[in-house]
Amino acid sequence: MATTFSEIFTDPGSWPAQDAVLRSTSISAEVTLLAYRHGLFPMPIGEPGRQPWMWWWSPVRRGVLPLDGLRVSRSLRKSARRFHVTVDAAFDEVLSRCADPRRDGGWIDARIGAVYAELHRRGVVHSVESWTADGRLAGGLYGVSMGGLFAGESMFHDPEIGRDASKVALVGLVERLRAAGTPERRLLDVQWRTDHLATLGAVEIPRAEYLTRLRAALPLTEPDWGRPERGARRAGTA
């Protein structure tokens, strides 16, 4: 019987037929990396007033965004002209804004924040930012990059200055992933297909298909995260 994280994570046949696979009382950078390599991700859930469990998820129906299936509407293209897109220029602020406890459905706690900040320092987690012309952060996203996998974790926009700013960041991310080559084998994981993400082209695939595609994506060359876009061009213009 599987008894360790490593044994459980590497044995999908033992996973229940539900999105939540197992829970733990702790989380670390090493365990988190192991989880992503085997198709899981962490998200805490708990009762109010009590320390939440750290749950490890592998949705039965996984949300992914095909790189050749991104839908950029005319209004989004128009919005994109108002923002500059950068990479890793303001990771701490993007993480903080995504973790704002005032957000509906907020789930990023201090444990999650510490782990992803550590993984950012290791060069595994990256942020994509959208800026106004006068230099204000209007929106952004962050996620885990491993080979040909980018696992999107969270995104935000400033409701006063950032209409569509998180979408513009997503367009910028897709452009960078496509530029890395073999876009048909790369995997942009969005966890669950929400109505919002569906408008951008997100689809659902079965867990088994996701795991097969993950194994094919991981050996690919990483995107070039070392040359951040500092306003040289705008997302959606390529």
Q: Tell me the pLDDT tens digit for each residue of 145-204.
A: 999 999 999 999 999 998 899 999 999 999 999 999 999 999 999 999 999 999 999 999
- Mean pLDDT, to the nearest integer, of 10-35? 93
Say which residue the tokens 């129906």 belong to: 61
- Residue 101 pLDDT greater than 90, yes or no: no
Here the tokens at position 124 are 């595994």
At 216 the three-state DSSP class reads: helix
Q: Edge-to-edge, what's the strand order for the sheet holding 41-45?
A: 20-24, 53-57, 41-45
One-letter amino acid for residue 75 of the chain:
S
Distance CA 210, CA 70 (A): 18
- Residue 232 pLDDT greater than 60, yes or no: no
pLDDT tier for residue 41 given thresholds of 50, 70 and 90? very high
Task: Give start-end residues of each CATH 3.40.630.70 domain in the chain.
Answer: 63-217
Distances (CA, A) of 68 to 52, 144, 179: 38, 20, 12
Hey, what CATH topology would domain 63-217 get?
Answer: Aminopeptidase (3.40.630)
pLDDT above 70: percentage of residues in the chain: 91
